[in-house]
Chains A and B, each alone.
Chain A
Amino acid sequence: MSDEPAMMPLTSTTVSPEVARIARSLLPAFYDQLKHIAQRARARVGAGSTIQTTALVHEAYLRLRDSREFSDETHFLRAAALAMRHALINHAQARLADKRGGGSLHLTLSHAVDLSIDTDEGMLALHAALERLAVEMPRLADVVECRFFGGYGEEDTARALGISLRTVQRDWLKARAWLYRELTRA
C-alpha cells in the first residue's frame, strides 16, 4: 500500500492554472483525512462515516484563509471541490486495489437497481460517467463536482462557478438525470 495518493492528473479541462494549483495542494491533505476518517469509522460495526466531506473543505478553507494561499475565494471553492473529488476517487481506487490484491479494476456496477454510490465501485463508476459528461456538458459536470463531491449548497456552488442560483438548480437536475441514465444503462 503506497503512502502517497495515486497522483491522478487533474483532468478537468475547465479550470484555470491557479485553481489547478490550489487543487493540487489540497489533494494530499484531503486524501489523508479521508483515510483517517475511514479508519476511525472502522471500529464501529455497520456505521457509515458521519463526517461529510464538507467539513473537510471548511476546515481547509479556514486554514488556508489564514495563510493567504489564495486571493480569490471563488478559486478556492472551485479548487476544493476538484481536489475533494480526486481525493475520494483515489481513496476508492486504493481500497479496491487492496481488495483485489492489486489486480486490475473493473468498473461495472453489479446491481443496477441498488445504486449505492457509497461503495468504492459505485464511486468510481460515477467518476467515469462524470468524465464523459464533462466532455459534452462541462458546466453540468462542474455542478456535480461542487454539489456532490464538495458537498456545497446551491449558493456556494453558484459562487464557485460564477453562475446564477437558478442555473445551478437547473444544471443539477439535468446532470443527475443524465448520470442516472448513464449509470443504469447496462
Chain B
Amino acid sequence: MSESDFKPKVVAFLCNWCSYTASDLAGTARIKYSPHARIIRVMCSGRVDPTFVLKAFAMGADGVLIAGCHPGDCHYIEQNYKTMRRHEMLRYFLERMGIESDRLRLVWASAAEGQYLAESIDSFVAAVQKLGPLNWSANWEENGQRAEALEEIVHEHAEAMEVAP
C-alpha cells in the first residue's frame, strides 16, 4: 500500500470551548481539512483520559489528536495543564509499548484559530500516513498455532491408554 492510498483512521478529541469552536469556524469559513480525522467533542481537553487514547489505538485508530485551549486560557482554569502532563506520560508509555509516540499529538487551538486547526489536522494526518497503518489487534494473534495445538491435545487425550483405577 503506497502512502497516498492509505486512509488513516485518526481520532481527534476537540475541547468544547476552543478547538471544537475552531473547527466550527473552519467549517463556516469553508476551509477544507482532511476527512480522515473523526472529531469527537469533549467538554475539555482535560476530559481526555489516557483510557480513551489507548482504547482508540486498540480498536483500530492509526493516530490520536487532542486539541484544547492554549495554556492559561482553559475554561476550567488549569485542566489543560493536566492534559499536557498526560500527553507526556502517554508518549513515554506508548514508546515503551512499541507504538510510535508521534501517533499522538497535542495541539492548542483557540476559538479564533480555525485555519490553524485545519492545518494542524492536515499535518497530523500526513504524519500518520507516513507512519503507516498501526493495526494493533494483529499483535494478539497466535499465528494459527493455537487452534492446531488445542486440537492436538484433544486428539492425544482420546488416544491415551486407560489407566486401571
Do A and B bind? Answer: no
